[in-house]
Amino acid sequence: MSEKRAAYIAVLMLGLVSLLGDIVYEGSRGIIPDYLRHLGASALIVGTVIGLGELISYASRPVSGIIADKFRSYWPLVFLGYGLIAALPLIAIAELWGGWLLAALLVITERLGKGVRTPARDTIISFASKSIGAGKAFGLHELLDQIGAVLGPLVLATLLGAGYGYYLTFLVLFIPYLALMVSLFLAKKSLKTYMQHPSKGESEKGSMKEVLNRETMTYIGAVVLNTIGLLPASLILYQASVIAGKGYLGAWFVPVLYAFIQLIDAPLALASGLIYDRIGLKMLIAPFIASILVAPLTVMGELIPLLIAALIFGFVLGTKESVYRAAITGLSPSDLRATAYGVMNTATGAASLAAGAVYGYLIDIKASPYIVLLFSSALQLIALIMLNSLIRKERSR
């Protein structure tokens, strides 16, 4: 088998795993808050559980990345991380025993699994991308991932709409979970990962200094500012629930809008990856500029502006997600790549939490869309200046 063909198989197999994983995770994501409330959890508890889960997910990624690089334990961490997705179908048990506390622990467990697997998985994809292009590899993976993100909410919305309760709906998720683990086993068995590392002693020497070089940190800084300036999808859905509560739209509107965002995202992920392979970091200019509009449109609290915000958010997500990961391939040495992914993921995770808090507060106080526009524009302008400095360096190579 040629190296190029093996690389495509590697990316497709891992993309299939992510597709199945997102059916479970993204499907659950839309109903977990309602389920916790159903089990007796207050709004404070729900918010704390979701926030703590995300914090643990992102905080664990640098540790996972360092372990993966130091011990070359990429596949074991991928298996462990995906294995913990079983926590989501098991949430069904909480209705019979354990209540919201057990459900909360299982939600957090799954998020820990996300943190454990992500740097190692992205590193495996980056090695495979050597012969097909980083943008294409991550774009193809993101496309398959987003197909799962579309299917998951629609499947669970259909089950709940058909009258199945939470218990049976969560149990059904064991089907894609088992398919996921079988696919992961087959991927590991059939794939050769392209790992050309220096000796162990060399790779441990000054590792963090190499990862945190000026160019990489400038890139991560630009990504962080873009993320803080971009209103998160959760608040688009929050505003959608407010509009749905006014009576002229049903509860179905929220998961359908979320699926719409993912549907916009999916095809753009591959296209943007292919373009990145041709033009490099210039690919990020358009999503950085478009990010400015999402927040002011959302805080208006009206249906048409919200739909436009969701459309733009899907565009931004689709055009930057695969490029974010692909760019790290060119900015970090292969033996420290999982560490670099861990650092970037944690930084963007913290930025996402900050964005949620800031924009959530601005929505609560009914801030003027013009003030929100000013805030968003300022952050994206600084991010674009930092990005432009990297583009100039890219041209001079």
The residues near 177 (Cβ < 8 Å, ≥ 6 apart) are 20, 24, 85, 86, 88, 89
Q: Which CATH number fits the domain that encloses residue 295?
A: 1.20.1250.20
Task: Supply φ then ψ for residue 164, to 5 degrees.
Answer: -70, 140
Write the DSSP symbol of residue 249. Answer: S
- The amino acid at residue 41 is A
Residue 35 neighbours by CB under 8 Å, 6+ apart: 91, 103, 166, 170
Residue 314 contacts residue 264 (beta carbons within 8 Å): yes
pLDDT of residue 200: 47
CA distance 281 to 363: 33
Task: Determine the pLDDT at residue 46.
Answer: 73
CA distances from 126 to 64, 82, 119, 192 (A): 16, 19, 10, 13
Regions of the chain short of the pLDDT cut 70: 1, 43-44, 47, 190-212, 250-252, 397
Range of the domain at 332: 3-192+200-396
Count up the domains in the chain and report the number: 1
Instruction: Tell me phi and psi for residue 362, to 5 degrees.
Output: -65, -35
pLDDT tens figures, 39-76: 887 756 776 787 788 888 888 988 998 898 888 888 99
Alpha helices in 162-199 (DSSP H): 166-172, 174-190
On whether the CB atoms of residues 265 and 146 are closer than 8 A, the answer is: yes
Q: What are phi and psi of 163, to 5 degrees?
A: 100, 0
- Round to whole Å and give the CA distance between 339 and 214: 16
Burial of residue 383 (CB within 10 Å: 0-12, 13-18, 19+) is buried
Instruction: Specify the pLDDT at position 211.
Output: 63
Q: Rounded to an integer, what distance in angstroms lies between the CA atom of residue 309 and that of residue 331?
A: 32
The distance from CA 199 to its chain's CA centroid, rounded to whole angstroms, is 32
